[in-house]
Amino acid sequence: MVSLSCLFLTYGLIEGQHFKWSMYIVGILIISVVIFIIFYVQQKLRQKRDPLIPFALFEDRNYTLMNVVGVFFSIGVLGLMLLLSIYFQSILGYDAFRAGLTLVPASLISMCVSPFAGKFSNKIDGKYLVLAGLALTLIGMIWVFFIMNGHNYWVQFMLSMVITGFGNGLLISPMAAVAVKEVKDEVAGAASGVMNTVRQLGTVGGSAAVGALLQNRISAMNHGSEFESVFDISTKFGGHLSGYLTALRESLLLPMAAIALACIACAFVRKNAKRLSTNEVK
């Protein structure tokens, strides 16, 4: 049911601009909300008999906050990658392969840093590692915002990708560790599954929201004219790209705001939490 709700939500956000946010799109979004409410009520009624999502998990402050951080982090990072892919292909004229290669350093750095961050989370309070990772990610995004001028070479994005990748790698493992540190052993599996699902929902919903915002801004810059795809900007509008570059930069503010909100949520996480064992609970 959550997947179905997410499907309607994503479709509504992506196609909203095309249908000029008509009642058809409003109806799709309402259906998404209704399906989610039905799922919530169904799970509420099953709390005493093997629920899919134990709501008691969210009584743990750190677990709840780390889920919030995970959602905003997913929105921020996926939104950044989406906008950069469009920028490289539509503004700079890269093909998909070259655009992908330009983004590779972020993934490589993240992959290399993540194992060490997991080890350090046992020595340093994970909250601070997550905060540091979010801060670095935000710095990398701000860097991209200011160098996105339509006349870049791929090498100019290397440092921002390295900073962003380092930030991502620094926070992923500690974020999970902080989230489940106080969770009871008997629901640890459910806690991990719920957190991963919430992050995936943030990824899907966030990328759809960023895409919808970009379509809206491009349409506004083009005085409401329709376009087939944001990837066709350069071919359809020729050299008049300043307005569409502005639309991309304005859309980047949404992922940046998401990371900033993740930082705020992380600031309220309790320090030095101790994991509760089954015996301690009893």
Answer for the pair 192, 57: CB distance below 8 angstroms, yes or no.
Answer: no
pLDDT tens column, 54-70: 888 888 889 999 999 99
61: three-class secondary structure by DSSP: helix
Residue 243 has pLDDT above 80, yes or no: no
pTM > 0.95: no
If you average pLDDT over each of 93-97, 141-145, 187-191, 232-236, which comes out highest? 141-145
Listed in sequence order, the residues at least 6 apart from 203 whose beta carbon sits closer than 8 Å to its beta carbon are 74, 75, 78
Q: Write down the domain spans for the chain.
A: 1-52, 55-281
Answer for the pair 205, 167: CB distance below 8 angstroms, yes or no.
Answer: no
Q: What is the CATH number of domain 55-281?
A: 1.20.1250.20
Answer for the pair 88, 94: CB distance below 8 angstroms, yes or no.
Answer: yes
pLDDT tens column, 128-148: 999 999 999 999 999 999 888
Give the pLDDT confidence score for residue 70 in this predicted structure.
92
Distances (CA, A) of 218 to 15, 88, 91: 14, 16, 13
CA atoms of 5 and 28, how far apart (whole Å): 10
Distances (CA, A) of 233 to 67, 150, 183: 36, 13, 49
Torsion of CA 182, 188, 194, 195, to 10 degrees: 50
Tell which residue, 2, 15, 80, 70, has the closest CA to residue 42: 2
Answer for the pair 11, 19: CB distance below 8 angstroms, yes or no.
Answer: no
Residue 43: both structure tokens together:
């799970």
Place of tokens 């099953």: 46
pLDDT tens column, 1-15: 778 888 888 888 888
